[in-house]
Amino acid sequence: MLFMLCLLGFFVVWLFGHVLGFGLYLIVLFIGHLLAYWYIYCPLGILVWLCLSFGVQNILLILAAVIIILALVLTITLVSSKSETTHHS
């Protein structure tokens, strides 16, 4: 009986070690994935946080306004640089 209890103890400790090791492996894998792709998850997390804070429709309106402003700034920059190159020629 004592031998069977020892075998059961060995098995439980062995199983617990494997379960714990697998859990640690998954945690390290997940954290490594987050650290490797931070440039994707960081803006995505900020966007999700903003959507939860302000609402999805407001964030979509803000993003549309930002895109329109950036497009206008890019257009003005390209037109002004094009006009400068024609004046120097």
In which domain, by residue range, is 49 found?
39-89
- For the chain, 89 residues long, the average pLDDT of each consecutive 10-residue run is 92 94 95 90 84 82 89 90 70
Q: Structure pTM?
A: 0.49
75 in the same domain as 51? yes
43 in the same domain as 29? no
Mind giving me the DSSP string for 8-59? Answer: HHHHHHHHHHHHHHHHHHHHHHHHHHHHHTHHHHHHHHHHHHHHHHH-HHHH
Q: How far apart (Å, rounded) are the C-alpha atoms in residues 62 and 69?
A: 10
| pLDDT of res. 36 | 92
Q: Is 68 helix (H, G, I), strand (E, B) or coil?
A: helix
| pLDDT of res. 88 | 62
32 in the same domain as 1? yes
30 in the same domain as 5? yes
C-alpha to C-alpha distances, 78 to 85, 87, 89, nearest whole angstrom:
11, 14, 17
Residues 59, 50: contact at Cβ < 8 Å?
yes
| pLDDT of res. 23 | 95
